[in-house]
Structures are given as C-alpha cells and as structure tokens.
C-alpha cells in the first residue's frame, strides 16, 4: 500500500492527473477544518501504512491551516478527538497549499515509498459530538408574535452565539414582538427578568440580552423546539421562487416580482441575513431532506395557476 495520503483543499480530485492519483493510498477533497477528524480517524483505522500526508490546494477559508496544525500534533479547536491521537500520529505533513501541480507531482514522486509495516497501531476512534458556541458580537433581530416563543428563541440564540464574559454569556438582540409600536432599550436577563418591558412594547433593544452562567442548566430545557414548527410570518414578508422571484407581504399581498436570477436572490437574501447564512444549492437537496414537507412545488403550481406559466399578471 502507498505511504501517501493526498488531501485537496477546495479542489476536485478529477483535476489531479492519474499518474499522481495512482501513487497515493487515498485522495480526499475537504472544505472545512472538521475534516481533520475524519482524516486522523482514517489514518488510525484504515491507512495505517501512511507516513506522509500531503495537503494541496487553495486554502480559501483558513481550514487548511487548522488541518496542517493538527496533523503536526497541535491540539486546536477543530479537533473532536482526544489530543493524544494527533500527538502520536507520527506522519510527515507536506504543506503544498497554493502551490502548483508541478510541485505536487515532484513531492509525490520523491516521497512515494510503499510500506508493508504499520506506522501506527490500528485503533478505532469515536468522534465526539461537538458542543461549541460561536461568539457573535454584532446585533441580531429575532421576531415572533408570541412572547413566550420569542423568549425561547432568544435563549436558543444566546446558547448558540453568546459571547462569554465574566459570569454571563450575552448578545445584542433586537427582540421584535409587533410590527408597529414603541420600543424599549435596556439590558435583559432573559431568564430572571423576562419580559423586560416587552409586554408593553413592540420591540426590545436588549443591550445586552444575557444568561447568567449559573442558570445555563436551567436555560437548556427552556428552548422549546416545537416553536420552530409554527408558521410565523416574518414582517419582511415572504419570498416564493417560481418563474420569477415573488415577494409577498405578511397578509399575502404581492409586493414585488423580480427576475429570477442568482444576483436578485443574493440581493434579497443579504437584506435579511448575512451572506454566509445562505447556501443557494440545488432544490434536489432540499427535496431529499424535507420529502413530504417540501412545499416549493406546491407554491410554484399555485403561482402558475394564478398568473399563468409565463409569469405575467
């Protein structure tokens, strides 16, 4: 078996010449730092003859840096396995990020040295379920027309994106209950002080909204997942993708119809959420996930029945 493992960052294996592929034990394309866990797992469970890992391709999001670090024995935030496994991995890491295929070819041919003996013992590794929080320092808007549901959403958001400081975790939240009316601005302990004046206002500018660390165990069961099953129409209206991009108001009034193209979709999406929150992939993926709950076809049929296949009104 080959002693080489080739990891491609944001690069298709089909673009690598056959001569190179035939000299490596495995070629894998990765797009996130989490991939390092599966790489290490494979090195212990299957590719025990591999003593050299080549990391090649454009490191577009910095994931490659974390992968290279971990393979060199550094215990970093990307790992979901005990640090001892990367410290005892015993592989030579060849960092060819942003390099040419000529340099890749040279490295493969010079380092290719098939081994019959095991470089490391065969060990089955179980990946840990991640329970990490991504701190977000910017303001964020949460909307619901039910006070208790809005509280649950606020708790859920803080537990996911809260900033850890002192005895609390917090976010700057704009909690909107109604579309019109006065707003209040004040700090809000969403467990101990709720509704923080929101029962007499349309919106609360919580500067910040926070949970005391001693209350985290109490907060966890207060995230009621069933609230996300409800149809709560956003005050911004709703969008339907059909022959055009239709923008409806909360009461179903057609506000705008835009040409259905990539730029218009991104434009409208980024008005509502940051760019990274939207992946405009194939509808097939959504259909496979949602199955009977996939309603896009139904919406499209309703629009065609109303306006005709041409989309004109």
Please indicate, yes or no, whether residues 100 and 29 belong to a single structural domain of this protein.
yes
Please indicate, yes or no, whether residues 249 and 199 belong to a single structural domain of this protein.
no
Q: What pLDDT does 291 receive?
A: 52
Please indicate, yes or no, whether residues 294 and 250 belong to a single structural domain of this protein.
yes
- Within 8 A by CB and 6+ apart from 203, the residues are 174, 175, 176, 177, 178, 181, 183, 184
| Domain end among 171, 205, 229 | 229
Please indicate, yes or no, whether residues 213 and 255 belong to a single structural domain of this protein.
no
Please indicate, yes or no, whether residues 75 and 148 belong to a single structural domain of this protein.
no
User: pLDDT 10s digit of each residue in the chain, 313 long?
Assistant: 899 999 999 998 999 999 999 999 999 999 889 999 999 999 999 999 999 999 999 998 899 999 999 999 999 999 999 999 999 999 999 999 999 999 999 999 999 999 888 999 999 999 998 878 889 999 999 999 999 999 999 999 999 999 999 999 999 999 999 988 999 999 999 999 999 999 999 999 999 999 999 999 999 999 999 998 887 777 777 888 888 888 887 777 888 999 988 888 888 887 876 555 544 444 444 444 445 554 444 433 433 333 333 332 2
Intra-chain end-to-end CA distance of the chain, in Å? 65
- On whether residue 119 sits in a domain, the answer given is no
Please indicate, yes or no, whether residues 10 and 91 belong to a single structural domain of this protein.
yes
Contact between 59 and 33 under an 8 Å Cβ cutoff? The reply is: no
Range of the domain at 171: 140-229
- On whether residue 55 sits in a domain, the answer given is yes
* Domain total of the chain: 3
Please indicate, yes or no, whether residues 84 and 155 belong to a single structural domain of this protein.
no
| Domain end among 208, 229, 250 | 229
Please indicate, yes or no, whether residues 248 and 269 belong to a single structural domain of this protein.
yes
Cα–Cα distances (Å) from 116 to 6, 27, 88, 101, 119, in that order, read 19, 20, 20, 28, 9
- Within 8 A by CB and 6+ apart from 78, the residues are 33, 34, 36, 37, 63, 66, 67, 70
How far apart CA 75 and CA 42 sit, in angstroms, is: 18
- On whether residue 214 sits in a domain, the answer given is yes
| Domain end among 168, 202, 229 | 229
- On whether residue 283 sits in a domain, the answer given is yes
CATH of the domain at 27: 3.40.50.2300
């Amino acid at each position: 078996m080959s002693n080489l493992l080739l990891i491609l960052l944001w690069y298709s294996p089909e673009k690598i010449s056959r001569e190179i592929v035939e000299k490596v034990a495995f070629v894998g394309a990765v797009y996130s730092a989490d991939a390092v866990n599966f790489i290490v797992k494979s090195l212990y469970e299957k590719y025990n003859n591999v003593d050299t890992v080549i990391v090649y391709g454009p490191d577009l999001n910095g994931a490659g840096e974390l992968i290279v670090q971990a393979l060199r024995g550094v215990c970093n935030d990307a790992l979901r396995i005990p640090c001892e496994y990367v410290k005892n991995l015993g592989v030579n890491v060849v960092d060819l990020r942003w390099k040419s295929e000529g340099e890749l070819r040279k490295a493969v041919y010079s380092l290719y040295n098939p081994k019959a003996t095991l470089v490391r013992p065969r060990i089955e590794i179980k990946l840990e379920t991640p329970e990490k929080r991504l701190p977000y320092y910017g303001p964020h808007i949460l909307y619901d027309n039910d006070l208790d549901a809005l509280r649950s959403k606020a708790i859920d958001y803080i537990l996911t994106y809260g900033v850890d400081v002192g005895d609390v975790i917090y976010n700057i939240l704009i909690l909107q209950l109604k579309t019109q009316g006065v707003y209040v601005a004040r700090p809000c302990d969403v467990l101990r002080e709720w509704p923080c004046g929101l029962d007499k206002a349309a919106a609360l500018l919580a500067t910040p909204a926070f949970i005391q660390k001693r209350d985290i165990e109490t907060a966890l069961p207060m995230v009621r997942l069933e609230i996300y099953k409800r149809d709560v129409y956003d005050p911004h209206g709703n969008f339907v993708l059909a022959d055009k991009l239709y923008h409806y108001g909360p009461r179903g009034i057609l506000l705008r119809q835009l040409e259905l193209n990539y730029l218009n979709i991104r434009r409208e999406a980024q008005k509502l959420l940051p760019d990274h929150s939207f992946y405009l992939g194939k509808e097939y993926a959504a259909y496979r996930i949602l199955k009977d709950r996939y309603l896009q076809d139904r919406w499209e049929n309703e629009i065609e029945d109303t306006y005709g296949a041409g989309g004109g009104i």
